[in-house]
């Protein structure tokens, strides 16, 4: 049986209940047709193994902590294996599989059978054959692994990194007044003496961190829906553009069109997982953003001799021995220490105080999420979908939904700790004090939600949405700039249509710059650069010199306020350029920079600080904003290792936008590696039709010599949408 190509005749498979027809449309997107949905699930597994075998098998190898066993004996792979074994994403696989409903189980089995059918009938992709890897059959639990990491990598770990940065701030004597300005949700008093005793575990070595970039990481996104009273068609329109790392090939998503006689399923799938993740059916459309829900809990433990203290008693940690088989090397026994508060970050045999990490989705989680994802495919109303999303536990997302009956809705998902009153979750508290212990999890019915709002608009862009619920799951939200801009544009015109939504996807106007320029503009000197910045239209166009000048002044503001009066410029420079912390949480800094007065101003009037930053920032030679905005899309396994003419990598290409524009164009370095987050996929669903407008940062296939390897990249850059249906 041949690999699926456009010019081949359609492939016909025997499914679970009937025949499955698989073909490609003219853009190379696989189209699966069957009489029953269970056969679509089988066909999707087959297509994922055909088009994205490297991606899904490499994800499984990494997530199971088997990279040094199956790929190569390298120190960085051993370190990533240790990290994955430490996290142990699915410690209770069998019990979670047993939570599947009979219908969901049959669909998961069908998907797994289709995937394994392809693996049995075809050779392993050559990249993995070069390394001597022969895959075991895919299992349902492998799909669970991928479902669960969607809620951790880039999301929960971003919260963890910021909370550890807070510890470092305290250890470097940043005052409590300054800290509480920067973290407005922080309610506890800071115990400086205790937190200064905490020994932070060393970070993963940079080479190991680079392997994390091969896994799908949700970071920040936009989605919105408008009711029919605001649209040209009289039916709702739903839009989404998940912002993920885009400087990689293949794209994280694979687009699919699936059809039965009763329903169509269009949109983005995540290889290794059955069903449409983002997209629509004939009745319902949905998209997700990260909610910045706090699903982590750090505690401090005093340790010695492999034990932790409770009063005057010393108690043994539970020890989990992970056996790491290294290719052509010695077996490594990696010990993981755990207690009732989670995973220890340190060596308890070395006396001291260490952090213990608990993730709310660590255990007893995954099966219900799979049930929900598969049930979603057959739902027809927003109300049904909201009730389903409310049950999703491991994925902390903002789901926006629209249906053909004219309804729009919003539902947050994710399991949250039910913390005692006055405990924010931002500060690590002593593990030996029971008063700080969470009491189970928050009632999911108290999570933020909204249904058919009066103004007919729902927008989420990672902002604070606590006000829409009874619980407060968010304590480190992103800023409101993108959400405010989306709402502003939606209110500008009556009779909205898909073309309006496409323009919004590429809107480069910055409300962040608008707010800062109200302060900066009156202080600008009558120099060439000063005049250029004053005349800037506040859009991050590629040829804009004003945008570059604003960025220079803004950076100097941060250096002066948070460097000179806080962490020191070297620390700020590192956070700004070499981590993702600033890209996620810059609005916390902005709240201070835009204040009339602050403890961070060092006693100076705000305007004096701005004048100094303007003088420093305008010393640069003005250049077009796009000059330094180029990235290379790197092959998942061979990125940067092969000559450019072989075409495994693609680029350089320019990334439009900025942190506060609707299409975020974030470019930064992490552990010495260039990375990004930007719209990885754009979708527009007008519920008056059964079509979906899309473009994607890649193509359908992970095969370098396939015509569908980078087939949609130029359309993604230029704003050209295809129509699925």
Distance between CA atoms of residues 195 and 354, nearest Å: 10
Distance between CA atoms of residues 360 and 418, nearest Å: 10
232-267 per-position pLDDT tens digit: 999 999 999 999 989 999 999 999 999 999 999 999
8-65 per-position pLDDT tens digit: 579 999 999 999 999 999 999 999 999 999 999 999 999 999 999 999 999 999 999 9
328-345 per-position pLDDT tens digit: 999 999 999 999 999 999
pLDDT at 215: 80
pLDDT at 183: 94
Distance between CA atoms of residues 538 and 525, nearest Å: 18
Distance between CA atoms of residues 431 and 465, nearest Å: 30
pLDDT at 265: 98
- The β-bridge partners of 481 are none
pLDDT at 691: 98
DSSP 408: E
pLDDT at 5: 52
Average of pLDDT values for 691-717? Answer: 97
What DSSP line would sit under 532-543, residue for residue?
HHHT--SB--TT
585-635 per-position pLDDT tens digit: 899 999 999 999 999 999 999 999 999 999 999 999 999 999 989 999 999
DSSP 115: H
98-124 per-position pLDDT tens digit: 999 999 999 999 999 999 999 999 999
pLDDT at 2: 46
Distance between CA atoms of residues 540 and 627, nearest Å: 12
Q: Output the average pLDDT for the chain.
A: 94
For 603, other C-beta atoms within 10 Å of its C-beta total 7
Which residues, 6 or more positions from 485, have their beta carbon under 8 angstroms from its beta carbon? 507, 509, 510, 511, 661, 662
| Res. 442: pLDDT tops 50 | yes
pLDDT at 628: 87
Distance between CA atoms of residues 268 and 265, nearest Å: 10
Closest by alpha carbon to 105, among 61, 64, 139, 56? Answer: 139
304-324 per-position pLDDT tens digit: 999 999 999 999 999 999 999
Q: Classify each residue of 152-178 as buried b or exposed e, where b means 16 or more C-beta atoms within 10 Å of its C-beta.
A: bbbbbbbbbbbbbbbbebbeeebeeeb
Distance between CA atoms of residues 210 and 207, nearest Å: 5
Report the relative pairing of strands 278-281 and 284-290 from DSSP bridges. antiparallel
Cα distances from 534 to residues 525, 545, 547, 623, 640, in angstroms, run: 9, 11, 11, 15, 41
Average of pLDDT values for 672-699? Answer: 92
Q: Which domains does the chain have, with CATH numbers?
A: 511-627 (1.10.1400.10)
| Res. 360: pLDDT tops 80 | yes
Confidence of residue 1 (pLDDT cuts 50, 70, 90): very low
Q: Give start and end residues of each alpha helix (H) in 88-223.
A: 93-97, 102-121, 126-129, 140-149, 157-171, 176-182, 192-197, 206-212
Distance between CA atoms of residues 392 and 156, nearest Å: 16
- The β-bridge partners of 324 are 332
Average of pLDDT values for 263-275? Answer: 97
| Res. 6: pLDDT tops 50 | no
Distance between CA atoms of residues 136 and 191, nearest Å: 51
Q: Which residue has the tokens 């069908």?
A: 110
150-177 per-position pLDDT tens digit: 888 766 677 888 899 999 999 999 999 9
pLDDT at 671: 59
Q: Classify each residue of 394-430 as buried b or exposed e, where b means 16 or more C-beta atoms within 10 Å of its C-beta.
A: bbbbbbbbbbbeebbbbbbbbbbbebeeebbbbbbbb
The answer to whether 490 and 224 have CB atoms below 8 angstroms apart is: yes
For 285, other C-beta atoms within 10 Å of its C-beta total 31
First to last CA, the chain: 27
Closest by alpha carbon to 377, among 275, 279, 256? Answer: 275
Q: What angle do CA 648, 245, 164 make, to 5 degrees?
A: 130
Share of the chain above pLDDT 90, in %: 88
Distance between CA atoms of residues 428 and 197, nearest Å: 12
| Res. 217: pLDDT tops 70 | no
Distance between CA atoms of residues 380 and 284, nearest Å: 6
63-111 per-position pLDDT tens digit: 999 999 999 999 999 999 999 999 999 999 999 999 999 999 999 999 9
- For the record, the structure tokens of 383 come out as 């109300």
Average of pLDDT values for 129-136? Answer: 94
The total number of residues shown for the chain amounts to 725
φ, ψ for residue 485, nearest 5 deg: -70, -40
Confidence of residue 577 (pLDDT cuts 50, 70, 90): confident
652-675 per-position pLDDT tens digit: 999 989 999 999 988 877 656 677
Average of pLDDT values for 191-204? Answer: 92
Distance between CA atoms of residues 477 and 111, nearest Å: 36
384-433 per-position pLDDT tens digit: 999 999 999 999 999 999 999 999 999 999 999 999 999 999 999 999 99
Q: What share of the chain is helix, strand, coil (3-state, %, to 5)?
A: 35, 25, 40
Which residues, 6 or more positions from 598, have their beta carbon under 8 angstroms from its beta carbon? 181, 561, 592, 606
DSSP 203: P
């Amino acid at each position: 049986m041949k690999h699926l190509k456009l010019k081949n005749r359609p492939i016909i498979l025997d499914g679970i209940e009937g025949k499955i027809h698989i073909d490609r449309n003219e853009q190379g997107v696989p189209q699966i047709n069957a009489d029953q949905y269970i056969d679509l699930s089988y066909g999707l597994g087959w297509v994922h193994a055909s088009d994205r075998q490297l991606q899904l098998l490499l994800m499984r190898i990494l997530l199971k902590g088997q990279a040094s066993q199956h790929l190569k004996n390298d120190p960085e792979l051993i370190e990533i294996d240790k990290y994955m074994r430490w996290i142990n994403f699915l410690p209770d696989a069998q019990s979670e599989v047993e939570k599947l409903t009979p219908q969901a189980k049959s669909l998961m089995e069908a998907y797994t059978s289709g995937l394994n059918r392809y693996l049995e009938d075809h050779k392993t992709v050559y990249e993995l054959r070069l390394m001597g890897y022969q895959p075991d059959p895919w299992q349902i639990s492998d799909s669970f692994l991928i479902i669960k990491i969607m809620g951790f990598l880039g999301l929960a770990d971003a919260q963890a990194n910021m909370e550890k940065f807070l510890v470092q701030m305290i250890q470097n004597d940043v005052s409590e007044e300054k800290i509480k300005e920067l973290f407005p949700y922080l309610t506890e008093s800071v115990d400086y003496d205790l937190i200064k005793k905490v020994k932070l575990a060393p970070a993963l070595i940079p080479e190991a961190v680079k392997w994390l970039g091969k896994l799908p990481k949700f970071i920040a996104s936009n989605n919105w829906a408008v009711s029919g009273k605001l649209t040209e068609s009289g039916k709702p329109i739903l839009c989404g553009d998940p912002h993920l790392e885009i400087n990689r090939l293949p794209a994280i998503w694979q687009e699919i069109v699936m059809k039965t006689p009763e329903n169509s399923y269009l949109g983005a799938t995540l290889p290794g997982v059955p069903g449409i993740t983002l997209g629509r059916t004939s009745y319902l459309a949905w998209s997700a953003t990260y909610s910045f829900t706090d699903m982590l809990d750090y505690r401090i433990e005093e340790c010695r001799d492999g034990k932790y203290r409770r009063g005057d008693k010393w108690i043994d940690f539970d020890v989990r021995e992970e056996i790491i088989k290294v290719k052509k090397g010695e077996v490594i026994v990696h010990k993981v220490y755990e207690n009732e508060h989670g995973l220890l970050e340190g060596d308890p045999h070395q006396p001291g105080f260490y952090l213990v990490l608990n993730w709310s989705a660590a255990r007893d989680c995954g099966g219900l999420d799979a049930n929900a994802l598969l049930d979603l495919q057959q739902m027809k109303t927003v109300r049904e979908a909201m009730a389903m999303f409310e049950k999703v536990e491991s994925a902390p997302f903002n789901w926006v939904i629209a249906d053909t009956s004219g309804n729009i809705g919003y539902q947050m998902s994710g399991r949250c700790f039910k913390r005692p009153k006055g405990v924010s979750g931002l500060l690590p508290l002593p593990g030996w004090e029971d008063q700080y212990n969470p009491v189970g999890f928050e009632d999911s019915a108290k999570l933020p939600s909204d249904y058919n709002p009066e103004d007919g608009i729902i927008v989420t862009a990672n902002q604070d949405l606590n006000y829409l619920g009874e619980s407060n799951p968010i304590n480190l939200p992103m800023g409101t700039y993108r959400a405010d801009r989306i709402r502003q544009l939606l209110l500008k015109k009556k009779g909205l249509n898909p073309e309006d939504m496409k323009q919004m996807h590429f809107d480069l106007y910055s409300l962040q710059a608008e707010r800062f320029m109200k302060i900066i503009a009156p202080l600008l000197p009558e120099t060439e650069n000063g005049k250029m910045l004053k005349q800037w239209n506040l859009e991050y166009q590629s040829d804009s010199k004003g945008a570059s000048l604003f960025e220079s002044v803004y950076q100097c503001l941060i250096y002066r306020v948070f460097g000179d009066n806080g962490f020191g410029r070297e620390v700020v420079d590192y956070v700004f350029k070499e981590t993702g912390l600033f890209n996620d949480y810059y609005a916390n800094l902005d709240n201070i920079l835009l204040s009339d007065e602050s403890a961070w101003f060092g006693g100076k009037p705000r305007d004096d600080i701005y004048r100094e930053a303007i003088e420093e920032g305008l010393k640069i030679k003005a250049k077009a904003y796009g000059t330094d905005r180029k990235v290379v899309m790197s092959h998942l396994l061979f990125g940067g290792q092969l000559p450019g003419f072989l075409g495994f990598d693609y680029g350089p290409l320019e990334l439009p936008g900025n942190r506060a524009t609707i299409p975020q164009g974030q470019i930064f370095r992490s552990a010495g590696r260039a990375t990004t987050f930007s719209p990885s996929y754009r979708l527009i669903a007008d519920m008056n039709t059964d079509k979906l407008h899309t473009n994607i940062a890649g193509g359908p296939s992970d095969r370098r010599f396939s015509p569908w390897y980078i087939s949609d990249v130029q359309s993604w850059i230029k704003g050209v949408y295809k129509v699925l249906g």
